[in-house]
Chain A
Amino acid sequence: MIRIEHLSKKFGDLVVLKDINTEIKRGEIVSIIGPSGTGKSTLLRCLNLLDYPSGGSIYIDGVNILDKKADVAKIRQKMNMVFQSFNLFSHLSVMENLTIAPIRLRGMSKEAARTKALELLRLVGLAEKAENYPEELSGGQQQRVAIARCLAMEPEIILFDEPTSALDPTMVREVLSVIRRLAREGITMAIVTHEMDFARDVSNRVLYMDEGLIFEEGTPDEIFENPQKDKTRAFINRTLSFTWRILSPDYDLYAMNAEIEAFCEKQILPKKTRYNLLLLIEELLQIYAPYLGKMILDMTIAYSEKSRRLDLICESTGEKANPLDSHGLTDDLGFTIIKNLTESIDYQWHNGKNRLEFQVKNLSHEE
């Protein structure tokens, strides 16, 4: 029911959406995931014209809403939005928040609206709070009310803009459970979220957005289990990585160190881990030293927030061989150090490269 073609959006010189093309069919529940600042919310806000697109077209039930003659208000009544900051009307009670739109926009009678409202409140589990005012409710309660308010207008599609991002973990669950319930009802939903598990659970389609585009899309299984693109994968694992290519023996160790230090700082890795990592890298490079210049060596440091796992991956071109096996070492000092610094060492011949994967000891809980 929603078709997006070549949608683009610029804020001044900043291009947030480059070229979005996708579709949301009736009854679908689409999750939109991706790193922050990649235009997920913007895409959503373009759908109900809270932000006006710079280019492209959006068809809702065949009507191009970017057409000048389109009755935007009417179209908006088909949709509704749940915001990150709830945005309840603070001068109205919960009941009034729910009834104001149906009465004023739909012309419902007060009683009918109230009845419907109570029903919805029961649905979200807040019937007893009908006469309270937003300021008296907790964040989670407010958001549930917001959802109920959304439903009061019987929209065809609900847009969720990071509905749980402003909630602390204890309240996230209650809101998510409400959304889950709605999913079961068969309402079309587009949800921008950071809650991966939830997205995986609830949606029948996942869009991964990055670099102003829909980077990858697919079923939850496809995206979460088997992301095709690295970036996707990295994101799924919530892995952040840092790759360094070394082409010659005249690499700049210290420059590399600086980058690594920066990376570590960003991940707030403990000092010891940082030290170990640098040492590990230095020792490895020593081992690779004779071959540098004859090969391309890619060193990737990957850190997964989720598992707090720090990996060092060395991929080198050249003959299929495990560099560590080589007996061209003067002594095994380096090797000893390497062994001591890593949880595991894996060698693979992967995609035509010698791949050594080290899981670095992350001693966060020791210091």
Chain B
Amino acid sequence: MNLQTRIENNVTVLTVSGRLDTVTAPEYEKNIREMISGGNIKFVVDFEQLEYISSAGLRGLLVMAKLLNEKSGRMCLANVKGNVRSVFDMCGFTSVFTMKDSVSEALAVFV
């Protein structure tokens, strides 16, 4: 699992690549906590490069959302497709998160 960040218009664009599973979710969580406590509260999470997500990954996202809520932050998901999308669908997460089809669209949400 790989995390790449960049800032665009004050928004942290987080590109997640690889797998978000039982093994990698804790690391994800840790990074997020750091970033959020570091002051990043606006996030676009780009799922373009993500190959796989399991329930552990979903929980990770939930944790992220909760943290941001506490900080009045906001997150938007981009490029959730394919197998990853089906998992989201299965668990009904499509309605839980804001999901956009591209990063730019997601960024536009923060404007």
Contacts and interface: CB of A to CB of B under 8 A. Distances in A.
* Complex: A in contact with B (CB within 8 Å): yes
Given A253-B23, A282-B21, A330-B59, 6 more contacts: A253-B21, A275-B83, A279-B54, A279-B83, A286-B22, A334-B54
A6 B76 CA distance: 72
B45 to A, nearest CB: 18
B54 A336 contact: no
Interface in A263-307: 272, 275, 278-279, 282-283, 285-286
A272 B54 CA distance: 14
A340 B90 contact: yes
Contacts of A330: 59
B22 A337 contact: no
Contacts of B56: 282, 286
Contacts of A50: none
A202 B58 CA distance: 56
Interface in A35-66: none
A330 B87 CA distance: 18
B58 A333 contact: yes
Interface of A: 253-254, 272, 275, 278-279, 282-283, 285-286, 330-331, 333-334, 336-337, 340-341
A328 to B, nearest CB: 15
A336 to B, nearest CB: 5
A224 B22 CA distance: 42
B83 A254 contact: no
B63 interface: no
Contact of B91 (A253, A282, A337): A337
Interface string B90-102: 1100000000000
A277 to B, nearest CB: 12
A331 B59 CA distance: 10
B90 A336 contact: yes
Nearest to B55: A333
B23 A254 contact: yes
B106 to A, nearest CB: 24
Nearest to A340: B90
B52 A278 contact: yes
13 contacts: A253-B22, A253-B23, A254-B23, A279-B83, A282-B21, A282-B56, A283-B54, A286-B22, A333-B59, A333-B91, A337-B55, A337-B87, A337-B90
Given A253-B21, A254-B23, A279 B52 contact: yes
B86 to A, nearest CB: 8
A341 B55 CA distance: 13
Nearest to A336: B91
A260 B22 CA distance: 17
Given A253-B23, A254-B23, A337-B91, A283 B55 contact: yes
